[in-house]
Amino acid sequence: MFSFKQLSEKFLQYLNQYDYKKQPAELYDPVKYIMSIGGKRIRPLMCLAGYNLYKENVEQAFNAAMAIEVFHNFSLVHDDLMDAADKRRGLPSVHKKYNDNTAILSGDAMLIMSYQLLEMYPDNYLELTQLFSKTAIEVCEGQRMDMDFETQVQPEIDAYIQMIALKTSVLIACSLKMGALIGGASESEANHLYEFGKNMGIAFQIQDDLLDTFGDEEKVGKKIGGDILQKKKTYLYLKSLELLSMDESETLRVLYSDSTEKTGDELVDQVVQLFKISHVDVHAQELKLVYQQLAFSHLKALQLDEERKVPLMNFAKELLDRTH
Give the whole-angstrom CA distance, residue 52 versus residue 26.
Answer: 37
Choose between 76 and 268: whose C-beta lies nearer to a copy of itself: 76
Site membership for a copy of itself, residue 230 (CB under 8 A): no
Give the whole-angstrom CA distance, residue 224 versus residue 131.
Answer: 36
CB of 109 to a copy of itself, least distance (A): 5
Site membership for a copy of itself, residue 140 (CB under 8 A): yes
CB of 313 to a copy of itself, least distance (A): 32
CB of 34 to a copy of itself, least distance (A): 16
DSSP state for residue 305 in the 8-state scheme: -
Choose between 141 and 208: whose C-beta lies nearer to a copy of itself: 141
DSSP state for residue 138 in the 8-state scheme: H
Lay out the site mask for a copy of itself across 98-137 (x = CB under 8 A, - = otherwise).
Answer: --xx--xx-xxx-xxx-xx--x--x--xx--xx--xx-xx
Give the whole-angstrom CA distance, residue 48 versus residue 176.
Answer: 8
* Complete DSSP assignment for 49-117: HHHHTT-S-GGGGHHHHHHHHHHHHHHHHHHHHHTT--EETTEE-HHHHS-HHHHHHHHHHHHHHHHHH
Quick one: which of 169, 209, 127, 131 has its CA closest to 298?
169
Choose between 142 and 225: whose C-beta lies nearer to a copy of itself: 142
Choose between 30 and 225: whose C-beta lies nearer to a copy of itself: 30
Site membership for a copy of itself, residue 208 (CB under 8 A): no
What lies within 8 Å, CB to CB, of 91 at 6+ separation is 37, 97
Choose between 21 and 222: whose C-beta lies nearer to a copy of itself: 21
CA 101 to chain centre: 25
Size of the site for a copy of itself (CB under 8 A): 36
What lies within 8 Å, CB to CB, of 322 at 6+ separation is 207, 211
Lay out the site mask for a copy of itself across 20-49 (x = CB under 8 A, - = otherwise).
Answer: ---xx-xx----------------------
CB of 39 to a copy of itself, least distance (A): 20
Return the residues of window 56-85 that contact a copy of itself according to CB under 8 A: 78, 81-82
Give the whole-angstrom CA distance, residue 152 versus residue 114.
Answer: 34
CB of 18 to a copy of itself, least distance (A): 16
Quick one: which of 312, 322, 319 has its CA closest to 47?
312
CB of 31 to a copy of itself, least distance (A): 11
Give the whole-angstrom CA distance, residue 181 versus residue 69.
Answer: 18
Site membership for a copy of itself, residue 171 (CB under 8 A): no
CB of 283 to a copy of itself, least distance (A): 27
135 within 8 A of 171, measured Cβ to Cβ: yes
Which of 93, 143, 175, 234 contacts a copy of itself by CB under 8 A?
143
Return the residues of window 231-270 that contact a copy of itself according to CB under 8 A: none
The dihedral of CA 35, 36, 42, 44: what is its sign? positive
Choose between 147 and 310: whose C-beta lies nearer to a copy of itself: 147
Where does this chain bind a copy of itself (CB under 8 A)?
23-24, 26-27, 78, 81-82, 100-101, 104-105, 107-109, 111-113, 115-116, 119, 122, 125-126, 129-130, 133-134, 136-137, 140-141, 143-145, 147-148
